[in-house]
Structure formats: structure tokens, C-alpha cells
Copies of this chain bind each other. A is one copy, B any other.
């Protein structure tokens, strides 16, 4: 039995601050200014005040992170690892961006060695940025998923991914068929789902690039493996929405929304994650809530591709499960601190505020709930996997100067999300083991 403890300021969420009246918002989290996190065999066994827990430590080694803040590792609810090398590609909106940059870049992932090299760089980048769990798009090539799973297994990372399904409206070199999609996904599920901390997501790219037959295959895979995830895109920008509705006009009932197309094929499960949703209306949000599916909010990507402003407050009012995502390469940063920075701006442009508590909840416990992983990660609940990050308030001269003026933990969190980047991540731990040190 390996047992270790970490001394630092420690914060994690117990519930959603959005659900509480303002005066009781402090009930949403536990904060220990001089705290202790105890880890046994990779799991959290205790968290609380240092002074209270220290006497029971015995000869347990204590890692001293005083002056820093430990929070649960961030989750990234939608990211494309094959797009790491094309992050920040200029000028296009979604559909032309796919054709111009994305598809050519993804072609190279037919090659296992290339996929392995990028998978390694990608996972290193996640850890540099404090992200300990991600829901990841691979490419259409089974080997692309294999390469990512191999590396994540070595790191003992809690990660969900899957081979992409796409059989139309894309270059031939990126298309599978309903049959190969089924067979390859099935083989990958059998090999990887549940191995180490890995999990599988059936991953149709989006309704525009999968035929109705292939969407039925996706449903069949979910029926046969009901503990797998469904991961796809929805309603990112307006021309995409119009196109999808036209594409399925004969297949679905009149007036079916883009999201409704997925529902038509039975793809809205409790483990379904729909990325973007910028153009979803209230009826769509209500359908998401009813199916207990989740939406992944992708701030830097939505701004970079000019898709629009996600209706964050409305999504919260309708109480859908909401996760935070970078959407690299449509997004411009692997840092969830920077995603929160942009999320704040998106909410602000709509005349509202995203508090630091809501923000950090979203990046940790909220995203864990969106991924149906909150019984494993996203907070320091007893028995959860000990994935966490050590945030350094003195990471840069400006951060140090600004933090000196911060009064209280909420302002500190806000400064981290406004000024912080990968440098603010002093260390990242996976299951109690240090996987990244700055």
C-alpha cells in the first residue's frame, strides 16, 4: 500500500454553485487554506485542514506545496488530438475550415508512427496545462485511436476516445463505411474500453459526414455496449445547421432540429456529449436535459471560428449538463484557464457574469458530471482517483504582483483564469503520481 499526503491550499467543489442562492454559495465548495490531501494507492482517502489531519499522518510522507493551490485536475470535454499541429489556422469558418485545414491534416493519421508521435505531444500538452481527463476525437483511422490509447495507458490517464465514423461529404481518403465503422469500433472497444482508466466513445464526426446507415451503426454499437460514450458535434454555426436540416429533410420529421437528428437515431443517451451547441435553441436545450445528455462549451474555438456566443446562462437555467472544452485545433489554447478567460468574455458580451466559482466548478466537477465521471474524478470526494493540479500564484511577475492584491480565494481563482496559462501549472498528478512538473 502506497500512502502519501500533499500540503497546500486546497479547493474542490461539492456541488454546483449555480444551484445555490448567492448568500449560500460558499456551501458549493470546500476550501482549506492550509490543507492536506491524503492519497492511498492512487485514490483520495482524506482531504481537510492540515492541523486537523496531521496528527493521524504517522510516517506518511508529506509533499510540501505550501503557497500553492491544489485543485482537481481539469477536464477537457471535447478536443481533437490530430489537430494539434494545425492549431491556429487562419481565416475560415467551420465548413471551409474542415476542408482547407482539418481533413488534409487528419490524413497523416493512417500512419501509426505519426499518430504515436502526435499522441505523445498532445498528452504532454494536456498535462502541461493541468488537464487530467479528456474526451478526445481521433481520426477515422483505427490506428489513430490505438496510438492515443497506448500512450494514455502508459500514463495511467483517465481518457475517453474513439475512432471517428465518417462515410460521406469528406475526401475519400478519410471515409470509412458503415460496415468498417462497425467492425473497427467493435474491435477497439473490446481491446481498450475499461483497460486501465481508458474508456471508449462511439464517435460519428457529425451528422453531415455520417450517412443515416452509419448513424444506425453508431446506435447499434451503443446498444451492444451501453457503458460506452457517444461523442459528436452539434449546431456549431449557422450554415452548418441549415445544411444538416436540409440533408435530413427526408429522413426525419418536418421541423426536426439538427440536435433532433441525433435523437431520431437514438443517439442521445446519458453518456452522449455534443460539442459546441452555439446555435441550440431552448427546445434543444430542453431535449438535452430530458435525455440527460451533455453539451461541451468550447469558448476559444467559438470565438476563433466566429461561430457565435454560446448561450451559457440559458443553458444553466434549463439545467443541462455542461462541460468545458478547448476544441483544439478549432480552439486556440490547451489551457482550460484560458478557456475560462474566454468563457467569461462570451458571457460578458451577453450582459451577464461568469463567477470564478462557477468557472472552476465548470472546469472540474461540472465537466466530470457532464462526462458521467464524477464518481471517479473532478473532486476530492473520498475514493475518487487522485488527479489534481498544483497552481502557482507566483508563476509570472505579473501574476505575483496581481495576486498580492487578491482578497480571498474567489478573487485568486479569478486572477488564475484571467492571467494564468500553462506556467501557472506547477505540477500535474495522475492517480497520485506526478505526471508533469513545470
In the bound complex, what is the Cα–Cα distance between A322 and B353 (angstroms)?
30
Say yes or no: A306 contacts B405, CB within 8 Å: no
- Interface presence of A303 (CB below 8 A): yes
Say yes or no: B402 contacts A356, CB within 8 Å: no
- Interface presence of A25 (CB below 8 A): no
Which of chain B's residues has its CB closest to A129's CB? B398
> Which of B88, B402, B422 is within 8 Å of A418, CB to CB?
B88
Contacts A88-B402, A419-B87; A397 near B124 (Cβ below 8 A): yes
Which of chain B's residues has its CB closest to A348's CB? B306
> Which of B85, B91, B345, B411 is within 8 Å of A306, CB to CB?
B345
Say yes or no: B87 contacts A418, CB within 8 Å: yes
> Which of B332, B398, B411, B421 is within 8 Å of A341, CB to CB?
B332
Contacts A85-B405, A90-B356; A304 near B411 (Cβ below 8 A): no
Give how many copies assemble into the complex: 2
Which A89-118 residues have a C-beta within 8 angstroms of B?
90-91
> Which of B87, B128, B308, B345 is within 8 Å of A402, CB to CB?
B87
Say yes or no: B401 contacts A85, CB within 8 Å: yes
Contacts A84-B401, A121-B397, A397-B128; A90 near B411 (Cβ below 8 A): yes
- CB contacts (< 8 Å) of A345 on chain B: these are 303-304, 306
How many residues on the A side are at the interface (Cβ–Cβ under 8 A)? Answer: 44
- Interface presence of A305 (CB below 8 A): yes
Which of chain B's residues has its CB closest to A413's CB? B90
Q: How far is the CB of A392 from chain B (nearest CB, A)?
A: 16
Say yes or no: B87 contacts A304, CB within 8 Å: no
Say yes or no: A304 contacts B85, CB within 8 Å: no
Which of chain B's residues has its CB closest to A105's CB? B405
Main secondary structure of the interface of A (DSSP, over half): helix
In the bound complex, what is the Cα–Cα distance between A345 and B332 (angstroms)?
11
Q: How far is the CB of A237 from chain B (nearest CB, A)?
A: 11
Say yes or no: B306 contacts A349, CB within 8 Å: yes
- Interface presence of A192 (CB below 8 A): no
Which A117-146 residues have a C-beta within 8 angstroms of B?
121, 124-125, 128
Say yes or no: B398 contacts A87, CB within 8 Å: yes
Say yes or no: B124 contacts A348, CB within 8 Å: no
A-B contact sample (7 more), CB < 8 A, given A84-B401, A306-B345? A88-B414, A90-B355, A125-B398, A305-B348, A306-B349, A309-B349, A421-B421
List 30 A-B residue pairs with CB atoms under 8 Å apart, sorted by A's residue number. A85-B405, A86-B402, A87-B398, A87-B402, A87-B418, A88-B402, A88-B414, A88-B418, A88-B419, A90-B353, A90-B411, A90-B414, A91-B353, A91-B355, A121-B397, A121-B401, A124-B397, A125-B398, A303-B349, A304-B344, A304-B348, A304-B418, A306-B348, A306-B351, A309-B349, A332-B341, A333-B419, A334-B398, A396-B422, A421-B421
- Shortest 8 CB-CB distances between A and B: which pairs? A88-B418, A306-B348, A303-B345, A90-B414, A85-B405, A91-B353, A306-B349, A332-B418
